[in-house]
Amino acid sequence: MKKVVGYLFLAITLGCNQSQPKRTPAESISNEAVKEAVKSEDTLQAIINANIRKQPTTDTVFLGFIFGMTRKDVNSHVNLLIKEKKLFINEDDQRYEYRLSLGLIKANASIAPDYKDNKLYKLTLIITPTDDIITEDLVYQQTALLYMKKYTSFDFFKEPDLINTNNPQYHWIKNNLHIYQHKTIEGTIVSYINMPVEQALDQKGKADADSAKLSTQKDI
Residue 19 has pLDDT above 60, yes or no: no
Amino acid at 106: K
Q: How far is CA 146 from CA 47, 101, 105, 134, 142, in A?
A: 22, 9, 12, 17, 6
Among 208, 176, 210, 186, residue whose Cα is nearest residue 66 = 176
Question: So what's the pLDDT on residue 6?
Answer: 40
Give alpha helix (H) positions in 30-135.
Answer: 31-51, 71-83
Amino acid at 112: A
Residue 71 has pLDDT above 60, yes or no: yes
pLDDT band at 27 (very low <50, low <70, confident <90, very high): very low
- Whether the bond between 56 and the residue before it is cis, its omega within 30 degrees of 0, is yes
Beta bridge partners of 169: 159
CA atoms within 13 A on the CB side of 71: 5
Q: How many other β-carbons are positioned within 10 Å of the β-carbon of residue 75?
A: 12
Strands 105-116 and 96-102 come out as antiparallel
Backbone angles phi, psi at 90, to 5 degrees: -75, 120
**Cα–Cα distance, 19 to 16 (Å, whole number):** 8
Among 85, 87, 83, residue whose Cα is nearest residue 62 = 87
DSSP state of 60: B
Q: Which of 14-23, 30-39, 73-82, 131-140 has the highest mean pLDDT?
A: 73-82
Residue 33 has pLDDT above 50, yes or no: no
Question: So what's the pLDDT on residue 115?
Answer: 98
